[in-house]
Homo-oligomer: A and B are copies of this chain.
Amino acid sequence: MSTAVTPKGERRRQALVEAAADLLLEGGFDAVRHRSVATRADLPLASTTYYFESLDDLIAKAVECNGNRDLAVMRSRVEDVTHRPRGPESTVDLLLDLLIGPSLISVDCRDRLISRYERFTACARHPELRDVQVRLGVQLHDLLSEALRRSERDVRQEQMRRLVAVVDGAMLTSLGEHDADLRTLARTMLLDVVDIVAPSVDKPDHIRP
């Protein structure tokens, strides 16, 4: 009883959000139903409508939850960032470590990635999700800035956005491929860009004389 006690209601609400987030991760938006969420959280069906105005509301919360989980995972990875070797290749790997993770062996990891991109496309048809998404985007970029600063790389915001876009584009493409090794694919593509961009990534002072 040393930690601040979360009121029971809030705990249940959170349990529902997390159940919904899990389902979202595992089965996409179609898997998030009142029934499935309630069952997963081991709570009565009616609790899903008691704690949330509508299913869309619950889904929005689940989306936010997954976004925050995504960020939390990345944040934990930032801890290990300092004192890395320099060089373009290392910068690329650093970025991939943060955005994608060390490898994609676990299904869970792949699901998290898929869900991330489903989140983007969902925003197109569901404007109510955009606020969440924008907030998550800001945090992501702060986090990446922090990571690059820690590793003493001087990468500008714009460069960073561009590199992230390349990763996103690469991931997106590979979602449509059979047995794609997402990380390797993104890595190749990223290196390809960075190869040329490199001077500005790791040695900013050399780029424009």
Contacts and interface: CB of A to CB of B under 8 A. Distances in A.
Interface of A: 27-28, 114, 117-121, 123-125, 127, 129-130, 133-134, 137, 158-159, 161-162, 164-170, 172-173, 175-178, 189, 192-193, 196-197, 199-200, 207
Contact of A170 (B28, B124, B165, B170): B165
Contacts of A118: 121, 124
Contacts of A114: 121, 124-125
B176 A119 contact: yes
Contact of A137 (B127, B166, B173, B196): B173
B125 A117 contact: no
Contacts of A169: 164-170, 172
**Closest 9 interchain pairs by CB?**
A165-B169, A169-B169, A133-B176, A168-B169, A123-B176, A114-B124, A124-B175, A120-B172, A118-B121
B175 A121 contact: yes
B172 A117 contact: yes
